[in-house]
Structure 1
C-alpha cells in the first residue's frame, strides 16, 4: 500500500492520493449516516465488497505474473531456429514428413530431441521413425 504512495510517476501519485481521499470521504459519510462512532469495515457492505474485489484482483495479478515467469523460464531453455536445407535433403525431409502426417519442422524438432553428443563432441541421432 505504501509502495503506491512512492510511485515515480507524478500522475500515478496524484491518482493514488485522489482515490484515497475519495475513500476517506466515503467512510466519513458512512459514519455520519449510520451514527457509528468508530468505523467498522465488516459492517460497511460497500467497503467490504471493494476490499474483496481488490484482493481478488491482486490474487489474479499474482497468478498471472507467476504463470508468465514460469513460461519465460521454460522458453529460456528452448531454441528456435530457421534452417535452410539443401534441395536434395529437403525433398527427403518433406517425403518423410508427409508419410508421418507431420510438417517438416516437426520432423526436425523430433530429430533435435534425439540428439546425442559423445565425449569427443560428435553429434549423432539413432535411427527413428517420426510420429505424431
Structure 2
C-alpha cells in the first residue's frame, strides 16, 4: 500500500512539473495538467485506502468492507450510465435527423409577406405552414402538384 501511495505522489509531482513544458516537448499525448489532476486524485484515494487499512487492521483491501469507496463507485457507475444514456439518445436523435429534410429557401418579398401573414393568423411559424402544405401536397401523374384546401393547425398530428 505504501508503495502505491509513493508512486501516486511521485507521478502527481512529475506530471505537475511536466505541465510547464512548452508545447511540442510534452511527453504525453493528453493535457499534462489533466494527467496531474488524475494522479492527484489517485494519490488521495490510495492514502484514503491506506488509512482505512490501518484503522481496520486489514492486511488486504476488500471493497466490500469500504462503505465510502463502494458508495463512490456506485456514484461513478451512475454517472457513466447517465453519460451512456445521453450518448445513446444523441445517436438516436442524429439517426432520426438523417431522415428529416432541413432546407433554406429564398422567397420573393410578396410571397414571403403572404406566408408570414398566413403563419401569424394560424399562430404558427412560417416553416410550420410550409411543412403542413407539403403534407397535403399531391404529385399528379403529369408532374403537377395539387393541394386540397386545408386549414393550418397548431398541432396537425
TM-score (norm 1): 0.73
| 70, 77, 81: which one aligns with 1:55 | 77
Instruction: Give 1:126's match in structure 2, choosing from 122, 144, 147.
Output: 147
Partner of 1:31: 53
Question: What is the alpha-carbon root mean square deviation over aligned residues?
Answer: 2.9
**Cα shift at 1:29:** 0.7
Give the deviation of 1:7 after TM superposition. 6.4
Matches within 5 A, 1:69-80: 69-80=91-102
Ranges in structure 1 where 5+ consecutive residues have no aligned partner? 1-5
Instruction: Give structure 2 stretches of 5+ with no counterpart.
Output: 1-27
The 3-state SS of whatever aligns with 2:58 is coil
Deviation at 1:38, TM superposition (A): 2.1
1:29, 1:7 → 2: CA distance?
A: 33
Change (3 A) 1:18 1:92: closer
Aligned counterparts of 1:89 and 1:114: Cα–Cα separation in 2: 19
TM-score, scaled to structure 2 = 0.63
Aligned pair count reads 126
26 and 114 in structure 1: CA distance in 2 versus 1, 3 angstrom threshold: same
Deviation at 1:58, TM superposition (A): 0.5
**Are 1:22 and 2:44 matched, yes or no?**
yes
Quote the offset at 1:123 in angstroms: 6.1
Instruction: Decide whether the 8 Å contact of 2:133 with 2:147 is kept in 1.
Output: no
Q: Which residue of 2 aligns with 1:66?
A: 88
